């Protein structure tokens, strides 16, 4: 009878924390780019509109991610004792998730141009996006083509900025909307 060897909980914890640290650093890097990519706000030309969200807009935009973070912070604590994992690992895990949670709530800058959407420090070509059929007025939801369950790309902001941005997005994506 073969005995199944269970991996060391410290090794698994180290790998999980390393992956999470890379994700947190990656997101922080992209957040630092938004001010450089979108230095001015408002109607910059007939082809460019840029706006910024505020903290409450980001809570509305990220509510699903915030709930997921809360669950990911709580779950390891129930497994620490039975997995014989050192207490330091879930503490570091929660610290990293807290930093990520804070980064989700930092106000963001967005811009709509004829060729791209700027969001979360990233630049998306319009051909890679489509407008969701969601009827929410508190955020705009775009879908990234080919991303499956990770497709939703919500945009935050105040009501007036979102109305302006959505009108521009619909105008840009109109040929795609007619194809559906």
> Residue 101's domain is classified under what CATH number?
2.30.29
In angstroms, the CA 130 to CA 4 distance is: 48
> Residue 140 belongs to what domain range?
9-179
Q: Is the pLDDT of residue 154 over 60?
A: yes
* Residue 1 located in a structural domain: no
| Higher local confidence (pLDDT), 50 or 83 | 50
Q: What percent of the chain stands above pLDDT 70?
A: 93
Question: Is there a contact between 17 and 74 (Cβ–Cβ < 8 Å)?
Answer: no
Give the per-residue pLDDT at 122. Answer: 87
Which of 173, 157, 159 lies closest to 52 in space, CA to CA? 157
Provide the pairing of β-strand 49-52 with 42-43: antiparallel
* Residue 162 located in a structural domain: yes
Which of 109, 127, 123, 110 lies closest to 165 in space, CA to CA? 110
If 0-12 CB within 10 Å is exposed, 13-18 middle and 19+ buried, where does residue 159 land? exposed
Give the per-residue pLDDT at 175. Answer: 56
* Residue 48 located in a structural domain: yes
Q: With left for phi above 0 and alpha for psi between -120 and 50, is residue 42 left, alpha or beta?
A: left
Q: What is the pLDDT of residues 6-45, one digit of tens each?
A: 678 788 889 999 999 999 999 889 888 888 889 899 998 9
Banded pLDDT at 151 (limits 50, 70, 90): confident
Q: Is the pLDDT of residue 176 over 70?
A: no
* Residue 4 located in a structural domain: no
The token duo for 121 is 């420090």
Mean pLDDT rounded to a whole number for the chain: 87
* Residue 31 located in a structural domain: yes
In angstroms, the CA 91 to CA 84 distance is: 14
pTM: 0.77
What's phi and psi for 113, nearest 5 deg? -120, 175
* Residue 2 located in a structural domain: no
The token duo for 73 is 């912070």
Banded pLDDT at 178 (limits 50, 70, 90): very low
Number of domains making up the chain: 1
C-beta neighbour count of 119 within 10 angstroms = 24
Give the per-residue pLDDT at 177. Answer: 47
Provide the pairing of β-strand 116-119 with 42-43: unpaired
Q: What is the pLDDT of residues 80-102, one digit of tens each?
A: 888 888 899 999 999 999 999 99
Summarize the confidence of residues 90-117 as an average pLDDT: 93
* Residue 3 located in a structural domain: no
* Residue 134 located in a structural domain: yes
Tokens 């902001």 — which residue?
A: 157
Question: Is there a contact between 50 and 122 (Cβ–Cβ < 8 Å)?
Answer: no
């Amino acid at each position: 009878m073969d005995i199944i060897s269970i991996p060391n909980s410290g090794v698994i914890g180290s790998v999980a924390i390393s992956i999470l640290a890379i994700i947190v650093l990656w997101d922080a890097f992209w957040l630092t780019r938004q001010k450089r990519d979108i230095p001015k706000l408002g109607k910059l030309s007939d082809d460019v509109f840029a706006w910024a969200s505020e903290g409450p807009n980001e809570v509305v935009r990220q509510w699903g991610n915030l709930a997921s973070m809360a669950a990911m912070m709580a779950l390891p604590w129930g497994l620490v004792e039975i997995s014989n994992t050192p207490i330091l690992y879930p503490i570091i895990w929660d610290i990293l998730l807290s930093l990520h949670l804070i980064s989700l709530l930092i106000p963001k800058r967005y811009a709509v141009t004829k060729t791209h959407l700027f969001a979360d420090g990233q630049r998306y070509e319009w051909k890679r996006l489509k407008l969701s059929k969601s009827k929410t007025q508190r955020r705009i939801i775009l879908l990234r083509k080919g991303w499956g369950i990770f497709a939703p790309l919500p945009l935050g902001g105040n009501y007036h900025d979102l109305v302006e941005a959505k009108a521009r997005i619909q105008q840009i994506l109109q040929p795609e909307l007619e194809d559906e």
